[in-house]
C-alpha cells in the first residue's frame, strides 16, 4: 500500500495528470461539481483523493449526531470484555486499537462503529457531534486497504494498520 500511495501522489505531466484524475473520477463516479477546486487543479490522484468539498456539499441537519463521513458502516456494537467484534466474530482488543492500557476500563460497555470508505467516497472524516478534542494519538502502522477481502484475510488488520485515535 505504501508503494501505491507513492504512485498515487506522483505528479504526471499536465495533460496526462489531468486525464488520469478525470478517468479516476469517471471510473468511481465521483461528482466533480462538489470539489473545492476545479478538478484540473489537483496535482495527482492522491491530491484529488483527499480533496476538500465546496461549502454545503454535505448539509447537516439539526440532529445532535451525524454520520461523520461518506462511508458505509461495516460493523457496530457494544465493547464487551475489552473487545470489539468485527466481521465473522473477529475480535479486536480495545487496548491494542487505542494503544492505551486503560482503554478496557474507559470504554467497557461503550459503543464502537467501524466505517468503510471506498475510493468513490470523500476521504475526510468529521466530528459526528459538537465536541472538544482532548487528545489525538497517531498510531503508525501498515496501510492495508480496509475492504472485505482484507478484513477477512489480513490477520489483526485494524490492530496493524495506521490510524488516529481521537479522544473527546
* The pLDDT of residue 1 is above 70: no
Determine the Cα–Cα distance for residues 159 and 26; give it in Å rounded to an integer.
Answer: 33
**Residues 55-73: tens digit of each pLDDT:** 888 877 777 777 778 888 8
pLDDT in the model for residue 88: 64
Residue 125 scores a pLDDT above 70:
yes
Q: How far is it, in rounded angstroms, from Cα 95 to Cα 24?
A: 38
Residue 33 has pLDDT above 70, yes or no: yes
Separation between Cα atoms, residue 116 and residue 2, nearest integer Å: 19
DSSP letters, 107-157, are HTT-EEEEEE--TTS------SSS----EEEEE--B----SHHHHHHSTTH
Q: What percent of the chain has pLDDT over 90?
A: 24
pLDDT in tens, 99-121: 888 888 888 998 888 888 888 88
Amino acid at each position: 500500500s505504501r508503494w501505491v500511495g507513492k504512485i498515487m501522489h506522483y505528479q504526471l505531466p499536465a495533460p496526462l495528470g489531468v486525464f488520469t484524475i478525470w478517468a479516476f473520477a469517471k471510473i468511481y463516479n465521483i461528482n466533480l461539481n462538489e470539489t473545492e477546486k476545479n478538478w484540473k487543479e489537483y496535482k495527482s490522484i492522491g491530491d484529488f483523493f483527499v480533496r476538500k468539498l465546496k461549502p454545503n456539499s454535505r448539509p447537516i441537519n439539526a440532529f445532535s449526531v451525524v454520520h461523520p463521513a461518506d462511508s458505509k458502516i461495516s460493523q457496530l456494537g457494544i465493547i464487551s470484555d475489552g473487545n470489539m467484534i468485527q466481521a465473522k466474530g473477529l475480535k479486536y482488543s480495545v487496548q491494542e486499537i487505542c494503544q492505551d492500557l486503560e482503554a478496557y476500563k474507559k470504554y467497557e460497555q461503550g459503543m464502537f462503529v467501524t466505517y468503510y470508505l471506498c475510493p468513490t467516497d470523500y476521504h475526510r472524516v468529521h466530528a459526528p457531534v459538537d465536541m472538544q478534542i482532548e487528545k489525538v494519538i497517531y498510531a503508525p502502522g501498515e496501510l492495508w486497504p480496509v475492504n472485505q477481502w482484507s478484513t477477512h484475510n489480513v490477520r489483526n488488520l485494524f490492530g496493524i494498520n495506521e490510524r488516529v485515535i481521537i479522544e473527546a
